[in-house]
Amino acid sequence: MKLTSARLFVFVFALSVVLLFPSPSSESKQATNVEARVNALLAKMTLEEKLGQLQQLDGEGEGNYRPEHVELLKKGVLGSTLNVRGAKKTNELQRVAVEQSRLKIPNLFGYDVIHGYRTIFPIPLAEASSWDPSVAERSASIAASEAYATGLRWTFAPMVDIARDPRWGRITEGAGEDTFLGSAFARARVLGFQGRDYSAPGKILACAKHYVAYGAAEGGRDYNTTDMSEQRLREVYLPPFHAAVDAGVGTLMSAFNDLNGVPASGNPFTLTKILRGEWKFDGFVVSDYNSVLELISHGLAGNNHDAAEAGLNAGVDMEMVSRLYNENGATLLKEGKVSQATIDEAVRRILRIKFRLGLFEHPYVDEAAENSSILTAANRAAAREASGKSMVLLKNDRGTLPLNKTISSLAVIGPLADDPRAPMGFWSADGKDTDTVTALAGIRAKVSPQTKVTYAKGCDITGDSTSGFDEAVNAARQADIALVFAGEAKEMVGEAASRSSLDLPGKQMDLLKAIHATGKPTILVLINGRPPTIGWAVDNVPAILEAWMGGTEAGNAIADVLFGDVNPGGKLPVTFPRTVGQVPLYYNHMNTGRPPVADVRWNSKYIDGPWTPQFPFGFGLSYTQFKISDLQLSAPTIRPDGRLNVSVNVQNTGQRAGDEVVQLYIRDVAASMTRPVKELKGFKRITLKPGETQRVEFTLGPDHLGFYNREMKYVVEPGEFKVFVGSSSEDVIEKSFVVR
């Protein structure tokens, strides 16, 4: 048949449609197959077996399982274990589930793999300081591969809580105060742990936690109440969870906190209406440790029976550690307080994830590969690179840093200079202190053989003793440079580690003052898990490096930065206050009718100190200098559904190659509801050689410009918008455009 040009066009177009949109896809076939398998298995299950899938129980110490686990798995009435790990142990227990139970449903092994399994990476707050989500994706991927080798298939990470109160110890586990930055890191960590297919070898199931608003606990006290408007909930605290869901996260964890009078682990509005109804999440929700039982302490439930009813009906599918579903499920069903459909749906969600995870096909792990897969040289190198990228240079007067490797003598001082525990941070999984490279070890390995390095502890992290001050002062006097390492102990951050003071604990600030008084150039290196209040140091010490809790390779990475092999390019993901009395202090606050103005009494400020932060969100210096200029917008006006291109020139005007994080903020000048003074809506970390210029571009659209109005509808309203681009939330250039 002869084809006319018109027929040829139709034929080519049709062929292109087939190639671009094959039907049905292998992915949809796989999904259909999973649902069919779930339904077939569910139809065979007894009520006892169904309730068993809703139960997770804790193991013993050192990764051991309990004898009870064996008996429960034989009966097919245990769905998951917590903290049981090690290839041999998990295989032993899995064989019971798969080979000795009636329905052969595999067990799901979970563990807190937060920022590394055996190779420990920087704490998540530190990795967020890199402003490079690929750093977090890579570290999560390595953590997943190490955990997988030990039989684990599920981690209770990432923590995506927005945290604006540094008194809260768990600020260390997240990405800081900003929703946009937090959402980017939520996506990255989910993809790192799970990849595009979490049934693949070396990938594990992720769990976004703690759902939701746990990071807004009153007074910065862990487990405490949170109370906020629905608008704030939707605009600030929910988006990182939504980003995790969009990235394919398989599970979420319900939080400990009370939210607007309804505890998060018994809250149908967040767990069902938003998560399942609006976001279409089809994975499962696990409670935090005993949080269903704690519905009684909250006062939502009067007894175990009522707590089980509230948790199940709200949408918590799996109960961690407490056993209320198992003990009360049959009675609740008989009384009609929980329906069979509710129980079946919870079981269906859990089975769906187990099938997607490939547990039925591959329930065991290769025991021979376990030891060769963890703490490898490549993994340690990745941890070192991540730690270096995460550090933030807070002050560097007169080019104090970097140091010369051939310097004649150094005094390394402070309780954290040779501490192998603190750099591991909280939730350091199976990381070993003996694997840690301390700062002292990293410095000694970096300097020339002729450099004299003297170490003096000076004082403990906590306590009032100054008995070591004389030794430290003498060491400083005899050296060319004094490096003082100060901060927090490992136990002072993380869960149940809220602090009422943000000052350096113990006598560390007094030690720093004593070293400074020697007249020798003094450098402060912070090893910590939250923003500290260090006003005296900022006013008096010439150089300050925020090294955070940097993980297994922290000491080598610190030395890399101090001696210039790595040029620090990190930026703060959280505001540093001057005093704890300023807290909560965050950059994207609403304005007031009387914004603070210097030397004017009747406006929103303090009478006993500045209202401004010590260091603003997004701040960080470099060993080189950058200039951001020529801000251009692609149009002066756009429609509410339109898009706007924003571009700037970024030039390295210094003498070293370095990284700059270009940050884009907006402000909706006037709207039907008050809007923040600035909102981060874009960022890019770029590397420039000396003298090099790069044009950096961003695109703004409805997702960036809209907000939830008084009717809780997401809208982009007409009006003027300001665009700010710069190197921090305060150091910016600006232009305006109009939405018509």
What are the catalytic residues? 288
Q: Locate tokens 């109960």: which residue? A: 319
Beta-carbon neighbour count of residue 472 at 10 Å? Answer: 27
Q: Locate tokens 């004094």: which residue? A: 482
Burial classification of residue 232, based on how many CB atoms lie within 10 Å of its CB (0-12 exposed, 13-18 middle, 19 or more buried)? middle
Please check whether residue 567 is in contact with residue 656, taking contact to mean a CB–CB distance below 8 angstroms.
Answer: yes
Bridge partners of residue 396, in order along the sequence: 543
Please check whether residue 146 is in contact with residue 192, taking contact to mean a CB–CB distance below 8 angstroms.
Answer: no
Rounded to the nearest angstrom, the gap between the alpha carbon of residue 444 and the centroid of all alpha carbons in its chain is 32
The set of residues, in sequence order, having a beta carbon less than 8 Å from that of 607 and lying 6+ positions away, is: none
Bridge partners of residue 683, in order along the sequence: 663
Bridge partners of residue 412, in order along the sequence: 455, 483
Written as six digits, the tokens of 298 are 């909250």
Output phi, psi for 658, to 5 deg: -165, 175
Q: Locate tokens 């586990």: which residue? A: 173
Output phi, psi for 45, to 5 deg: -85, 140
Question: Rounded to the nearest 5 degrees, what angle is found at the Cα of 409, between the Cα atoms of 407 and 414?
Answer: 120
| Strand 409-413 to 481-487 pairing | parallel
Q: Which of 391, 402, 409 is nearest to 555 (CA)?
A: 391
The set of residues, in sequence order, having a beta carbon less than 8 Å from that of 300 and lying 6+ positions away, is: 262, 263, 266, 306, 307, 310
Q: Reading across the β-sheet that carries 719-726, which strands appear in turn? A: 637-638, 732-739, 719-726, 658-668, 679-688
The three-state DSSP-derived secondary structure of 640-663 is CCCCEEEEEEEEECCCCCEEEEEE
CA dist list (Å): 544 to 176, 480, 540, 611: 20, 17, 10, 22
